[in-house]
């Protein structure tokens, strides 16, 4: 049973990886476009599911915080790669403060801790 499961996983992963590998090595533009479309549709699906589950207002709070966290990770990384370490440190401090401010401004009643009295 274990060997069957092992061969099944290897076969399915080969069916998934081989077309991606072929696109990535032979058709870079098509690979980039297809992966970008897959990521975009996945993000759209996650956003729509969030809106349906929690409502538009709470979803907007989530999206704003998500964008700030994404910027907090990507901007300092890009700045360090380009050799601007001081600017990267400033970006980390800025986005940390921005996240703290946005968290306080957009405080949700559902995320607040309830005190039992």
Of 62 and 95, more confident = 95
3-state helix, strand, coil in the chain (%, to 5): 85, 0, 15
pLDDT digits (tens, 9 = 90+) for 53-82: 888 887 788 788 888 888 898 999 999 999
Residue range 30-41, pLDDT digits in tens:
888 988 999 999
Domain boundaries, the chain: 7-54, 55-106
- Secondary structure element (H or E) that encloses residue 24, with its range: helix 2-26
Give the separation between CA 89 and CA 81, rounded to whole angstroms: 13
Structure pTM? 0.52
């Amino acid at each position: 049973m274990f060997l069957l499961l092992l061969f099944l996983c290897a076969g399915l992963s080969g069916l998934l990886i081989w077309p991606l590998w072929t696109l990535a090595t032979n058709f870079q533009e098509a690979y980039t476009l297809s992966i970008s479309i897959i990521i975009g549709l996945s993000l759209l699906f996650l956003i729509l599911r969030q809106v349906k589950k929690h409502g538009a207002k709470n979803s907007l709070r989530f999206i704003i915080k998500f964008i700030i966290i994404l910027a907090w990770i990507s901007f300092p990384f890009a700045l360090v790669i380009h050799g601007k370490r001081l600017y990267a440190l400033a970006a980390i401090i800025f986005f940390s403060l921005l996240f703290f401010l946005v968290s306080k401004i957009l405080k949700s009643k559902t995320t607040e801790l309830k005190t039992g009295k």
